[in-house]
């Protein structure tokens, strides 16, 4: 298969399925050697189109375990499109196509023999607007993904899973006495943390976050940021944010996207966050970080 073929040309052979390489289970504590869990997620020369309009140009980026990678840049430069490409949501858009590869622990997630459901289990997503299932209880929201992935658990196992995931999402103490209440009864910030808990329940290796705090108040934002800091040694995190202070606070690595007039989005600069924010190599990066445009 040519990795630069548009998405629409990638047709899996009849009757074939495969499972992505496995990584260690996510149990909550760091291993004895202090190493991070999660997976290496790599974009290799990723380009994207909506119909005939090219929106991304050959983006290459490595997102490493134990690291929060921040995608920054002005609106319309392709950050959210790139994020959705990482777990195959891009292909849901009619007329969408892509070139290049996205590799999870070395395996191309768009290869014909890879199952899309397994890819989306391994690479979870938290959206800009909290989206708990409104008719479901808080408890059932957390375990909703188990049915979609065909995972069986006893009642006791589900209860342990709910407590563990809500604890990791920083929500357990606030909701432990009202797990039967609807997820929609929670505040906006609590709903977002519930969505994080729901994503964690299926044990992803990567968690993608598309402006998860943009609709939240400062207190809820701080709690989400605390949750991100606590999770980064368990799951590889990639976050899109327009808040430069937030990017500086939560990330260890950053990539600056920019779409010049009439051109598709591309990565202008990528580096560890301290270096990029302290001494950016490209003057366009410096201008954006310091608020001179965007």
* pLDDT tens, position by position, 152-175: 778 899 999 999 999 999 999 999
CB atoms within 10 A of CB 72: 29
Using CA atoms, how far apart are residues 88 and 184, in angstroms rounded to an integer? 28
Using CA atoms, how far apart are residues 216 and 262, in angstroms rounded to an integer? 33
CA atoms within 13 A on the CB side of 55: 21
Report the SS3 class of residue 105.
Answer: coil
| 237 neighbors 69 (Cβ within 8 angstroms) | yes
CB atoms within 10 A of CB 22: 10
Using CA atoms, how far apart are residues 19 and 118, in angstroms rounded to an integer? 7
- The pLDDT value recorded for residue 179 is 96
Using CA atoms, how far apart are residues 249 and 16, in angstroms rounded to an integer? 44
Using CA atoms, how far apart are residues 165 and 235, in angstroms rounded to an integer? 13
- The pLDDT value recorded for residue 160 is 95
Rounded to the nearest 5 degrees, what angle is found at the Cα of 73, between the Cα atoms of 230 and 236?
25
Report, as an integer, the average pLDDT of 127-132.
91
Report, as an integer, the average pLDDT of 81-104.
93
70, pLDDT greater than 90: yes
User: 122 CB contacts (<8 Å, ≥6 apart)?
Assistant: 20, 39, 104, 204, 205, 206
For residues 222 and 25, the model is more confident at 222
DSSP state of 182: B
Using CA atoms, how far apart are residues 256 and 268, in angstroms rounded to an integer? 6
- The pLDDT value recorded for residue 10 is 40
For residues 290 and 150, the model is more confident at 290
| 238 neighbors 86 (Cβ within 8 angstroms) | yes
Domain ranges within the chain, ordered by starting residue: 37-289
261, pLDDT greater than 90: no
DSSP state of 73: -
Q: How far is CA 199 from CA 29, 74, 189, 193, in A?
A: 18, 27, 16, 10
CATH fold of 37-289 = Rossmann fold (3.40.50)
């Amino acid at each position: 298969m040519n990795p630069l073929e548009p998405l629409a040309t990638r047709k899996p052979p009849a009757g074939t399925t495969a499972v992505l390489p496995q990584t260690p289970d996510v149990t909550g504590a760091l291993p004895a050697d202090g190493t991070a869990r999660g997976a290496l997620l790599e974009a290799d020369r990723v380009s994207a189109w909506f119909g005939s309009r090219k929106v991304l140009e050959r983006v290459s980026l490595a997102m490493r375990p134990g690291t929060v990678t921040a995608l920054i840049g002005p609106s319309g430069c392709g950050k959210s499109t790139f994020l959705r490409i990482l777990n195959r949501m891009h292909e849901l858009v009619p007329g969408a196509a892509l070139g290049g590869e996205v590799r999870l622990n070395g395996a191309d997630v768009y290869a014909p023999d890879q199952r899309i459901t397994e890819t989306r289990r391994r690479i979870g997503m938290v959206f800009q607007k909290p989206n708990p299932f409104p008719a479901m209880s808080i408890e059932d929201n957390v375990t909703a993904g188990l049915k979609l992935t065909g995972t069986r658990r006893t009642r006791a196992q589900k209860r342990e899973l709910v407590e563990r995931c809500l604890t990791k999402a920083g929500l357990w103490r606030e909701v432990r006495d009202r797990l039967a209440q609807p997820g929609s009864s929670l505040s906006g910030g609590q709903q977002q943390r519930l969505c994080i808990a729901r994503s964690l329940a299926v044990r992803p290796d990567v968690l993608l976050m598309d402006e998860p705090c943009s609709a939240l108040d400062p207190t809820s934002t701080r709690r989400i940021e605390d949750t991100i800091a606590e999770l980064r040694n368990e799951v590889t995190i990639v976050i899109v944010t327009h808040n430069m202070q937030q990017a500086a606070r939560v990330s260890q690595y950053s990539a600056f996207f920019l779409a010049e007039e009439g051109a598709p989005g591309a990565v202008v600069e990528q580096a560890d966050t301290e270096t990029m924010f302290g001494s950016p190599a490209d003057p366009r990066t410096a201008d954006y970080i310091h608020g001179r445009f965007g």
